[in-house]
Structure 1
C-alpha cells in the first residue's frame, strides 16, 4: 500500500511541478496521502515537486501534528519538534511545515490525497484585491461539477501553525454548513489546495481551479463577472446527469 501510494504521489508531484503547467517552481508546493487512520505520507521540506521520488516523501504520525494545533502557546520551536517527532523513521527528512495543513485536510477535510501548489493564474487573483471573486459564485457548470457548489478562500496567514488552525476552522465550518467535504481551498497571497479522494481527483480539481482562475482573470479584464443564478447553480450541483458525470470523472 505504501509503495503504491508513494508511486502515485510522486507521479502527481512531478505533474504539478512540470514547468509547462505554471503550477509550481523550485521548491514550491507539496502533497500528501492518507496511509491509514493514524499516518500520512507527505513531501519533505525543501524538496522539489518536479523531481519527487520516494526518498523525498516522509511517513508521519498524524496525532502529534493535530495535537499541536490545540496548544495555544505553541511556537516555532514546538512546530519543529512536532514535525521531527511525527516521523516514523527518525532518520527521514523533516516534513514540510505545511504538513500541519495536510494533516487537517486528511482528517477534518476527509480527503485521501491533497495537492498544494501555486498556480500563476490563481496567484494573480489571490494576490489582488479581487480574490473574493473566485468564491463569490459559479462562472460555468463544470466549475461546480469538479470543484463543488462552493469553494473556500482563506486570508493569508503564516504557513505552519497559523495556517493549520485557520484551515481546520474553515473546513469544519464548510462541512457544518453544507454537509459535504470541501474540494478546493484558495489561500490568499499564497496558492491553492485540492482535497481529493484520489491522486486523479486532486489533479482534476487543480486543473479546473487553474481554468476558473484564467477565465476569471480574462473576465475581469473585460468587465465584471456574471455568475450563474444561485437556483441554477444549485440545480447543476444536484442534477442526476451531472452527478453521474461526477462519478464517471472520479472513476466510481
Structure 2
C-alpha cells in the first residue's frame, strides 16, 4: 500500500485531539507546527498532512500512510530524504493551491512508534493515538545545557503516574535523520523496559505523547509542560532534588498507581 488521501478515515476523535493540541492558549504549537496520528485497525496511520495547522485542521488535512513502507525507507541506510518525501506523497491528490498532499515530514515519528509496538507484541491500542508538539516551556529546557539531564530522573509523584519513564532523543534534523535516531532510541527503550515510553523528548525540538486514547495524549502533553516548569523553577533556585530510584520503584510497584495510570491513559 502507498500513501493515500481519504478524508472519510479521519475520525472525529483524531480531529478533536488535533484542534485541542493546536489551541493557542495551550502554547503547544503555533502556525503549522506539530502533528497527530491515529492507527487504523488495518495497521495504517492517518497522519496530519504537511503544512496544515493543528488548531484549524479539517478532515481534508490528513493522509493515510503505510507504516512498513515508511519504515523501510528509514531503515535503509542508502535511502535519502528525497526517498522519504516521495513515499509520503498521496498519489493523485492535490491541495486547493495545486500542491501535492503529503504526510508531514515528521511522519517518521509516528511510524516508528507503531513499528516498535509491533515488535513488542503489544495490543494495537497501546499506541492508537500520537501527538507531536513543540511546547515553549519544554523546548526551552530541551534547547538548554540541561537538556540531556533534565528528565533523567522523576521529580514528583504525579509525573511518575502520567508520564512514567520518558525517552530523551538527541537532536537530529527533522525527517529521515530524526527518524533513524528516534527509531533506535525507541527500540533501546523497549528492550530495557519492555514497553514503549509514553513521552519522548526530542532535543531542541519538542515532544511526542503516546497513548491508547486522545485523553491520554492530552494528559501526557499537559504533564510534560508542567514537568518543564517544575524543572525550570528548581534549576532557578539551585537545582533538582529528584526522587530516588528506590522511591520510584516502590511507587511503580503499587497496584493503585498502576490502576490510576491505566485509567488516565484510557481517559477515565
TM-score normalised over the length of structure 1: 0.93
- 1:134 matched residue in structure 2: 150
Structure 1 residue runs of 4 or more that deviate by more than 3 Å after TM superposition: 2-5
Gaps of 5+ in 2: 1-6, 95-100, 118-125
The answer on 1:90 being equivalent to 2:95 is no
Does the 8 A contact of 2:67 with 2:114 survive in 1?
A: no
In the TM superposition, 1:1-252 aligns within 5 A as 6-84=11-89, 87=90, 90-91=92-93, 93-109=101-117, 111-148=127-164, 150-251=165-266
Deviation sequence 1:112-162 (CA, Å, 0-9, x none): 1110000011011000000123322111111111111x2111111011111
Q: Residue 182 of structure 1: CA displacement? A: 1.0
Q: What is the count of residue pairs matched by the alignment?
A: 247
Gaps of 5+ in 1: none
Deviation sequence 1:35-91 (CA, Å, 0-9, x none): 13431100000110010110101112222201111221211221121112xx4x631
Distance 1:229 1:137 in 2: 8
Distance 2:238 2:26 in 1: 27
Q: CA RMSD in A?
A: 1.7
Distance 2:243 2:85 in 1: 45
Does the 8 A contact of 2:10 with 2:59 survive in 1?
A: no
Q: Secondary structure of 1:90's partner?
A: strand
- Cα 1:115–1:236 change in 2 (3 A) is same
TM-score normalised over the length of structure 2: 0.87
